[in-house]
């Protein structure tokens, strides 16, 4: 009896397929985007905070007003940064710096990555894992693998490609 069992589950090999037209982003561009995102974050949040506190320290405004102004400017910068980041990520899988450098995050099969994948799996989980000593170094070194995926990319099921 060599006939196939009609009730058996299908037997197919399924692999992640990257869009053949997509080109993986090089490690230097990814590093540049990470650094640039950090600079943008600092510029939008910490610089306004420092300005508010320095106005207070220089006697241009009172101490309570200076603290309130510094705090308000920092919160306004944070809200602006969050809005821009969420807007860019939801539109095309790009942070502010990734958009400037022409790279984006997609799923390993080439489909668009969801906002949840990018924010929670790539960022929140990665930040929590960053509490483990030397994790950041090991995560970064994975970029030199064949698929150029860091650990946070593997967790989220994403790759970074040229946009």
pTM (2 decimals)? 0.76
- Per-residue confidence (pLDDT) for residue 1, from 0 to 100: 57
- Per-residue confidence (pLDDT) for residue 137, from 0 to 100: 92
- Per-residue confidence (pLDDT) for residue 79, from 0 to 100: 95
- Per-residue confidence (pLDDT) for residue 3, from 0 to 100: 78
- Per-residue confidence (pLDDT) for residue 13, from 0 to 100: 73
Tokens 């693998």 label which residue? 145
Q: How far apart are the first and last CA of the chain?
A: 54
Q: What CA dihedral angle connects 88, 90, 92 and 94, to 10 degrees?
A: 50
- Per-residue confidence (pLDDT) for residue 21, from 0 to 100: 65
Low-confidence spans in the chain with pLDDT less than 50: none
> Domain spans of the chain?
27-162
- Per-residue confidence (pLDDT) for residue 97, from 0 to 100: 95
- Per-residue confidence (pLDDT) for residue 17, from 0 to 100: 55
């Amino acid at each position: 009896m060599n006939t196939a069992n009609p009730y058996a589950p299908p037997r197919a090999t399924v692999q992640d397929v990257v869009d053949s037209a997509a080109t993986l982003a090089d490690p230097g561009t990814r590093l540049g985007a990470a650094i640039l995102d950090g600079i943008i974050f600092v510029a939008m949040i910490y610089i306004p905070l420092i300005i508010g506190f320095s106005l207070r320290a220089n006697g241009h405004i009172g101490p309570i007003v200076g603290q309130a102004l510094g705090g308000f400017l920092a919160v306004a910068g944070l809200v602006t940064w969050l809005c821009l980041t969420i807007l860019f990520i939801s539109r095309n899988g790009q942070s502010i710096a990734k958009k400037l450098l022409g790279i984006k995050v997609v799923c390993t099969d080439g489909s668009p990555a969801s906002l949840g994948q990018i924010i929670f799996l790539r960022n929140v989980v990665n930040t929590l894992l960053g509490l483990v000593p030397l994790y950041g170094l090991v995560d970064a070194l994975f970029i030199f693998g064949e698929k150029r995926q860091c650990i946070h990319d593997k967790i989220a099921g994403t790759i970074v490609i040229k946009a």
